[in-house]
């Protein structure tokens, strides 16, 4: 473990060291843009091909939970930014506090995600042999834990979807594309959150030693960049996954 | 023989202290953060995968000696060419020059003590090894029969072979490439020595910078693509699966978005090697430095715009195909700029045919053939006929083996004195270079003819009238194998018994030749300052060339490498 | 080293709070916009709002506005390459003729092993 802001052997100045780390982080984030980009492309093509099934699938997500999670994540980005500010202004006590807030919000986000996944699991919406887009519409509303009103809407939507998509088999197949992308994209995003949470834990432990101040705050700043990037991904995932066809509902 | 090694001091001695004897023991290697040692770790691992891929290639060529196949069942044949491709492309060609020569040389060439992120550099080697283990596991437990392209839904639904571990391995290995590229880009931006301006960078560094851009911008896409295919296979998700209404051609788009630029990951570093070798053995500055540098970036950028030319016969839209065909022709421009500039550098130069030069000249000829036949394939109408035939196989082997591997072996010879401090046996090395060149052409030129005649790729048998050409190809492959084994033997031998090289045996102009051979762990005793232009032999008295050269050659006829 | 070693810029908590408010407003707005039927413009509007939100995060939370030219170039090139990937792939899909095999009843046409 090296001391606060120690100069590594390959650099000549601390400034060079910091500049290098920042550039490295940004270049890494560019790779992340293209990494998620491949998934966004897959989403775009499939949604373009099957708007009906994607609409039906999107309306099966819980808008309230999605909205709440977006707010939580944006708030966590704010607290992360504040921890960078605390470090930059040498408020050594505040750094871990804001970081802990960020971590808590991140964990809340992941918790909500777990609830949502569990719900989809119960509703037979995991792609594969057991997938059944009509599962909830065939059950009494209480079994799926949704309101009578939503249940009625879902039944109409599926009926219309079957008509528009050329049959139940087709709708069921195409909706699996939607849910594959839903789980793929949010899963990958959640994985990034978990990595971020791990980094935050390390950062909190380090910052409690008072390591980060105006002279040396590269780790806070770079992990912050990563955290904001993960936030940005969600900013796109939320409308693309949750809001596709809300105007029909 | 090679350049004047007899400077004032007479015989050279190895420096007392250098990166190889700085510390001893297995831990000092496995936990090293010295870019030079990591380069050697890569050398060992990459050579291993070259052997693995080579064994599969040998089996393929033996099998194709007779029309009905000599050796294996059709299923096994599918696995052989797949595993040959996977081992060679992902685990040999892509890391070969960047991770070995680039790793070793870039910090020294720009006058830095190390790469920007030495620990990440070591990490990338371990990532490579872990990815490699997964792929070897796949090879060992049922093999892989999807083709190196992993097209869905064969790979994601129908194949009975060990696709899952292979896909995981490719996914993991991608991060090794990403980390290497990231490290190089940041290093070139932030670690240059005083006076080392962008336009004083060796062309080797320029080409690696361009390569790194591709690694950074392309590799994440292949990672996500194989991940999606893997999710389809493991969890029965649907992204490309036609059973769900998905589009397999989308997989191909994503796959080739990386895998076409990946060809430039292989060839650009080799171009960098050639750009270093040619001025050295012609004793002339490279012709049109800025054009050669800019063409590297040009290739990297345009290389991203052409991928769908791999999919002309898949059901891709005709209009898109026309656009991609046109864009594919554009790549020929920066590539041709390079070839013309190298050729112009040779003009009226005082050429010495040392081993690295033989490889460089071989590269120019073979790359030109490979590049021009690429234009055939970029042509929409012609591609319908040539698609998926041996013409394609021959074309990309001219680029990858004739180009990238020639550059790699040539570069290995050129910098061997720097890496080990010792010279290889010159006569054997020249013989090996010539054997390699002959063997290569005998192996792959007949395949152009086979392809033109319509022999499809990836078939385990063929009509009897193709036998003569196939036997020629197999015969060539055995000569080629000799051409690879020889350097392997004498280079290993020379590590212990070779003549001591001294700091600058050729002599060459780069910064790497101003430090000891082998260099110190910190590369330089003190940070160098650069006050000379690249490839300038005239204003460099320290090279010891005064008086002897340049004499005008007697006759002024141009000495072109190709006809 | 390189000539553009930049001074570290400290963004004030007030500005951070403003951005937070803007982002929350954007989130609310995108949900409201989604509930109105705009036909094909729903997706355009949703992406526009998301892009604005992203720009705010990059410019202020991530200090993109105050970064060196080089860093800004890195950011822009990341999105530029993403645009290449999306755009050139779209040239294929937007000009393709509708294929009979990709409509109607997928499982019926799924390839079966021999």
Cα angle, residue A54 at apex, residues A51 and A56 outer, rounded to 5°: 110
Percent of chain A at pLDDT above 90?
78
Same domain, C83 and C39: no
* pLDDT value for C108: 41
List chain B residues with CB under 8 Å of A46: 239, 246-247, 250
C83 and C58 in a common domain: no
Same domain, C51 and C72: no
Find out whether B188 and B293 touch, Cβ atoms under 8 Å.
no
Of chain A, the percentage scoring pLDDT greater than 70 comes to 97
The answer to whether the CB atoms of C81 and B320 lie below 8 A apart is: no
Q: Confidence class of residue B41 from pLDDT cuts 50, 70 and 90? A: very high
Classify B374 as helix, strand or coil: helix
State yes or no: pLDDT of B139 exceeds 80: yes
Give the neighbours of chain C: at least 3 Cβ pairs within 8 Å. A, B
CB of B253 closer than 8 Å to CB of B213: no
pLDDT in tens, B319-338: 999 999 999 999 999 999 99
pLDDT per position as a tens digit, B492-525 = 999 999 999 999 999 999 999 999 999 999 999 9
Cis, peptide link before residue B507, omega less than 30° from 0:
yes
State the smallest CA–CA distance between residue B204 and chain A in angstroms: 21
Nearest CA in chain C to B189: C2
| DSSP characters over A208-247 | HTT--SSS--HHHHHHHHHHHHHHHHHHHHHHHHHSTTGG
Q: Is A114 exposed, middle or buried (0-12, 13-18, 19+ CB in 10 A)?
A: exposed
| Residue ranges making up the domain that contains C22 | 10-62
Task: Show residues of chain B in contact with A20, CB under 8 Å.
Answer: 116-117, 186, 190-191
CA distance B20 to chain A (A): 18
State whether A41 and B246 contact (CB < 8 Å). no
Comparing A106-110, B10-14, B64-68, B333-337, the range with the smallest average pLDDT is B10-14
Across the interface, of B115, B220, B527, the residue whose CB is closest to A35 is B220
Cα-Cα-Cα-Cα dihedral of B241, B243, B249, B253, to 10°? -20
- The percent of residues above 90 in pLDDT, for chain B, comes to 90
Angle between helices B35-63 and B74-88 (to 10 degrees): 160
Residue B93, both tokens = 């060609």
- Closest CB to C36: pick one of A19, A30, A247: A247
**Residue whose structure tokens are 């601390």:** A14
Query: Is residue C56 domain-resident?
Result: yes
Cα A177 versus chain centre, distance: 19
Taking CA–CA distances from B524, the nearest residue in chain A reads A10
Question: Does any domain span residue A5?
Answer: no
Q: What is the mean pLDDT of chain C?
A: 84
Distances (CA, A) of B269 to A190, B214, B265, C98: 37, 12, 7, 42
Cβ distance B114 to A37 less than 8 Å, yes or no, reads no
Cβ of A42 and B250 within 8 Å? yes
Q: Is residue A23 domain-resident?
A: no
CB-CB under 8 Å, A169 with C57: no
pLDDT digits (tens, 9 = 90+) for B386-428: 999 999 999 999 999 999 999 999 999 999 999 999 999 999 9
Q: Which positions in chain B touch A176 (Cβ < 8 Å)?
A: 237-238, 244
CA separation for the pair A161, A154 (Å, rounded): 10
For residue A194, the enclosing domain spans: 63-125+170-248
Contact list, C91 vs chain A (CB under 8 Å): none
Residue C74 sits in the same domain as residue C41: no
Confidence tier at A249 by pLDDT (50, 70, 90) = low
A243 closest CB neighbour out of C34, C54, C103: C34
Residue A8 domain-assigned? no
State pLDDT tens for residues A134-183: 999 998 888 888 888 889 989 999 999 999 998 999 999 999 999 999 99
**Residue A35 in contact with partner chain B when CB distance is under 8 A:** yes
Integer-rounded Cα Rg, in Å, for chain A is 22
- Is pLDDT larger for residue A141 or for residue B454? B454
Task: Name the closest residue on chain A to residue C2, using Cα atoms.
Answer: A16
pLDDT of residue C1: 35
Residue A121 touches chain B, beta carbons under 8 Å: no
Question: Do C21 and C54 share a domain, yes or no?
Answer: yes
pLDDT for B116 equals 95
Contact criterion met (CB below 8 Å) for B173 and B132: yes
pLDDT given for residue B352 in this prediction: 94
Number of cross-chain residue pairs from B and C with Cβ atoms under 8 Å apart = 62
Number of compact structural domains in chain A: 1
C26 inside domain? yes
Query: Smallest CA–CA separation between A85 and chain C, in Å?
Result: 7
Does A32 sit within 8 Å of B244, measured CB to CB?
no
Together in a domain, C74 and C57: no
Asked, for residue A131, whether it belongs to a domain, the answer is no
- Confidence (pLDDT) at C4: 39
Q: Is residue C102 part of a domain?
A: no
Q: Tens of pLDDT along B269-279?
A: 999 999 999 99
Cβ of C97 and B317 within 8 Å?
yes
Distance of alpha carbon A128 from alpha carbon A173, whole angstroms: 10
Burial of B562 (0-12, 13-18, 19+ CB in 10 A): exposed
Task: Mark whether C15 and C43 lie in a shared domain.
Answer: yes
DSSP 3-state of B49: helix
Give the chain C residue nearest B158 (alpha carbons).
C113
Q: Do A19 and B112 touch (CB under 8 A)?
A: no
Same-domain check for residues C32 and C54 = yes
Enumerate residues 185 to 214 of chain B having a beta carbon within 8 A of any beta carbon in chain C. Answer: 189-192
Which domains, ranges and CATH numbers included, belong to chain B?
34-543 (1.20.210.10)
* Nearest chain A residue (CA) to B217: A31
Q: How high is the pLDDT of residue B546?
A: 63
- Interchain proximity C106–B243, CB inside 8 Å: yes
Within a domain: C53 = yes
Q: What is the mean pLDDT of residues B91-97?
A: 96
Mean pLDDT value across residues B147-169: 94
Please tell me the predicted confidence (pLDDT) of residue C40. Answer: 85
The question of ipTM being above 0.90 is answered as yes
Residue among B114, B218, B225 whose CB faces A10 most closely: B114
- Same domain? For C26 and C47 the reply is yes
Q: With CB atoms and an 8 Å threshold, state whether B323 touches C91.
A: yes
B131 contacts: CB under 8 Å, gap ≥ 6: B90, B91, B169, B170, B171, B172, B173, B174, B175, B176
Q: How many CB atoms within 10 Å of residue A58?
A: 25
Domain count, chain C: 2
User: Mean of the pLDDT values across residues B44-50?
Assistant: 97
Residue C103 lies in a domain: no
Tell me whether residue A87 is in a domain.
yes
Give the mean model confidence (pLDDT) for residues B154-178: 95
Test C77 with A30 for CB contact under 8 angstroms: yes
- Out of A61-75, A220-234, C94-108, least confident range: C94-108
Give SS3 for B422: strand
Q: Which residues from C are below 8 Å from A12, CB to CB?
A: 1
Same domain, C58 and C72: no
Beta carbons of A128 and B247 less than 8 Å apart: no
Estimate to the nearest angstrom the gap between the alpha carbon of B193 and the chain centroid: 27
DSSP tag of B539: T
Same domain, C28 and C45: yes
> Rounded distance, CA B288 to CA B282, Å?
15
Say if residue C51 is in the same domain as residue C71: no
Inspect the interface and report whether the beta carbons of A75 and C70 lie closer than 8 Å.
no
CB B477 within 8 A of CB B443: yes
Local confidence band at A5 (pLDDT 50, 70, 90 cut-offs): low
Lowest mean pLDDT among B88-92, B558-562, C18-22: B558-562
DSSP C6: P
Kindly state whether A7 is in contact with chain B, defined as any CB-CB distance less than 8 angstroms.
no
Could you report the per-residue pLDDT of B289-330, keeping only the tens digit for each? 999 999 999 999 999 999 999 999 988 888 999 999 999 999
Q: What is the mean pLDDT of chain B?
A: 92
Tell me the CATH number at A114. 1.20.120.80
- Mutation target to probe the B interface, by most B beta carbons within 10 A, among A38, A121, A131, A218 is A38
Q: How many CB pairs under 8 A join A and B?
A: 117
Give the minimum alpha-carbon distance from C90 to chain B in angstroms, rounded to a whole number. Answer: 9
Confidence at residue C99, expressed as pLDDT on a 0 to 100 scale: 58
**Looking at CA atoms only, how far is residue B316 from chain C in angstroms?**
6
The stretch A39-67 carries a mean pLDDT of: 94
Cβ within 8 Å of residue B302, ≥6 positions away:
B327, B330, B331, B334
């Amino acid at each position: 473990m090296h001391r606060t802001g120690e100069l590594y052997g390959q650099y000549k100045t601390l400034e060079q060291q910091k500049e290098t780390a920042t550039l490295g982080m940004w270049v890494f984030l560019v790779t992340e843009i293209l990494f998620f980009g491949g998934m966004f492309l897959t989403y775009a093509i499939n949604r373009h091909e099957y708007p009906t099934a994607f609409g039906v699938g999107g309306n099966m997500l819980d808008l309230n939970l999605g909205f709440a999670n977006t707010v939580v994540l944006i708030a966590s980005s704010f607290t992360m930014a504040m921890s960078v500010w605390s470090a930059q202004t040498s408020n050594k006590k505040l750094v871990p506090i804001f970081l802990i807030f960020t971590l808590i919000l991140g964990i809340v986000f992941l918790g909500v995600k777990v609830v949502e996944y569990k719900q989809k699991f119960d509703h037979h919406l995991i792609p594969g042999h057991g997938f059944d887009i009509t599962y909830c519409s065939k059950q009494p509303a209480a079994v799926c834990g949704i309101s009578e009103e939503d249940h009625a809407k879902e039944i109409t939507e599926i009926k219309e979807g079957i008509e528009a998509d050329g049959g139940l088999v087709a709708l069921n197949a195409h909706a699996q594309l939607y849910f594959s992308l839903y789980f793929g994209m949010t899963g990958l995003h959640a994985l990034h959150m978990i990595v971020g949470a791990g980094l935050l834990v390390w950062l909190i432990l380090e910052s409690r030693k008072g390591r980060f101040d105006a002279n040396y705050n590269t780790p806070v700043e770079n992990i912050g960049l990563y955290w904001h990037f993960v936030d940005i991904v969600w900013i796109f995932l939320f409308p693309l996954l949750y809001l596709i066809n809300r105007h029909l509902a | 023989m090679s350049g004047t090694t007899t400077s004032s001091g007479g015989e050279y001695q190895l420096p007392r202290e250098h990166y190889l004897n700085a510390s001893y023991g297995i831990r000092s290697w496995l936990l090293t953060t010295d870019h030079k040692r990591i380069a050697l770790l890569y050398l060992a691992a990459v050579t291993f995968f070259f052997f693995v891929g080579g064994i599969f290639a040998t089996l393929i060529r033996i099998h194709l000696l007779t029309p009905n196949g000599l050796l294996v069942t059709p299923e096994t044949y599918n696995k052989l060419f797949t595993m040959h491709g996977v081992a060679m492309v992902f685990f040999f060609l892509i890391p070969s020059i960047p991770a070995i020569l680039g790793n070793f040389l870039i910090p020294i060439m720009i006058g830095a003590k190390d790469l920007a992120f030495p620990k990440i550099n070591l990490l990338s080697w371990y990532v490579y090894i872990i990815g490699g283990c997964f792929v070897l596991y796949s090879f060992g437990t049922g093999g892989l029969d999807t083709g190196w392209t992993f097209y869905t839904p064969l790979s994601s639904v129908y194949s009975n072979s060990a696709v899952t571990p292979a896909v995981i391995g490719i996914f993991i290995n991608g991060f090794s490439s990403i980390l290497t590229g990231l490290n190089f880009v940041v290093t070139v931006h932030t670690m240059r020595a005083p006076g080392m301006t962008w336009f004083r960078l060796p062309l080797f560094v320029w080409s690696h910078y361009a390569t790194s851009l591709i690694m950074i911008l392309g590799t994440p896409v292949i990672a996500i693509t194989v991940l999606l295919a893997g999710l389809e296979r493991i969890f029965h998700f649907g992204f490309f699966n036609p059973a769900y209404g998905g589009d397999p051609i989308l997989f191909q788009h994503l796959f080739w978005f990386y895998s076409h630029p990946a060809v430039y990951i292989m060839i650009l570093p080799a171009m960098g090697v050639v750009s270093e070798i040619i001025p050295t053995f012609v004793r002339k500055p490279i012709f049109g430095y800025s054009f050669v540098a800019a063409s590297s970036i040009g290739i990297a950028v345009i290389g991203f715009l052409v991928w769908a030319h791999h999919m002309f016969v898949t059901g891709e839209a005709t209009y898109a195909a026309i656009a991609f065909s046109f864009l594919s022709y554009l790549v020929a421009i920066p590539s041709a700029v390079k070839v013309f500039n190298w050729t112009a550098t040779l003009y009226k130069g005082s050429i010495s045919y040392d081993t690295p030069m033989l490889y460089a000249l071989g590269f120019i000829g073979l790359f030109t053939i490979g590049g021009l036949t690429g234009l055939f394939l970029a042509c929409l109408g012609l591609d319908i006929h040539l698609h998926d035939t041996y013409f394609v196989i021959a074309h990309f082997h001219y680029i990858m083996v004739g180009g990238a591997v020639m550059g790699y072996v040539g570069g290995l010879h050129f910098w061997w004195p720097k890496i080990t401090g010792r010279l290889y046996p010159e006569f054997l090395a020249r013989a090996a270079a010539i054997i390699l060149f002959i063997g290569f052409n005998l192996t792959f030129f007949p395949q152009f003819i086979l392809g033109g005649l319509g022999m499809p790729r990836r078939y385990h048998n063929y009509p009897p009238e193709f036998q003569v050409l196939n036997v020629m190809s197999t015969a060539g492959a055995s000569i080629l194998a000799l051409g690879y084994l020889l350097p392997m033997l004498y280079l290993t031998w020379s590590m212990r018994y070779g003549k001591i090289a001294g700091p600058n045996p050729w002599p060459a102009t780069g910064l790497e030749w101003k430090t000891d051979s082998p260099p110190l762990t910190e590369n330089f005793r003190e940070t160098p300052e650069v006050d000379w232009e690249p490839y300038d032999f005239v204003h460099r008295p320290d090279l010891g060339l005064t008086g002897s050269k340049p004499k005008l050659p007697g006759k002024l006829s141009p000495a072109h490498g190709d006809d | 080293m390189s000539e553009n070693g930049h001074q570290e810029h400290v963004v004030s908590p007030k500005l951070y709070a403003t951005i937070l408010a803007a982002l929350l407003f954007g989130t609310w707005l995108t949900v409201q916009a989604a509930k109105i039927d705009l036909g094909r413009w729903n997706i355009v509007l949703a992406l526009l709002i998301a892009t604005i939100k992203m720009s705010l995060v990059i410019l202020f939370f991530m200090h993109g506005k105050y970064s060196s030219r080089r860093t800004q170039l890195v950011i822009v090139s990341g999105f530029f390459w993403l645009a290449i990937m999306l755009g050139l792939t779209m040239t294929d899909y937007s000009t393709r003729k509708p294929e009979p095999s990709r409509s109607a009843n997928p499982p019926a046409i799924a390839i079966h092993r021999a």
